[in-house]
Amino acid sequence: MFAQGGYRWISARSRHEPVNMSPDASGGGRALALIDQVLGKRPDKDDVALAACARELCVYRDALILNQRAAPSDLGANQRLAHVNAVLATVLAVHFPIDAVPWDELEKAKAWLAEVWAEETPTVASAPAPSSRLASPKRAATASPQP
The 3 state secondary structure assigned to the chain is: CEEECCEEEEEECCEEEEEECCCCCCHHHHHHHHHHHHHHHCCCCCCHHHHHHHHHHHHHHHHHHHHHHHCCCCCCHHHHHHHHHHHHHHHHHHHCCCCCCCHHHHHHHHHHHHHHHHHHHHHHHCCCCHHHHCCCHHHHHHCCCCC
Q: pTM of the prediction?
A: 0.67
10 Å Cβ neighbour count for 130?
13
Tens digit of each residue's pLDDT (9 = 90 or more) over 82-119:
999 999 999 999 999 988 999 999 999 999 999 988 88
Q: Which segment, 1-5, 82-86, 125-129, is predicted with the most confidence on average?
A: 82-86
Tens digit of each residue's pLDDT (9 = 90 or more) over 20-70:
445 666 888 899 999 999 999 998 777 799 999 999 999 999 988 888 888
5 has pLDDT over 70:
no
HSE-up of 121 (CA within 13 Å, CB side)?
10
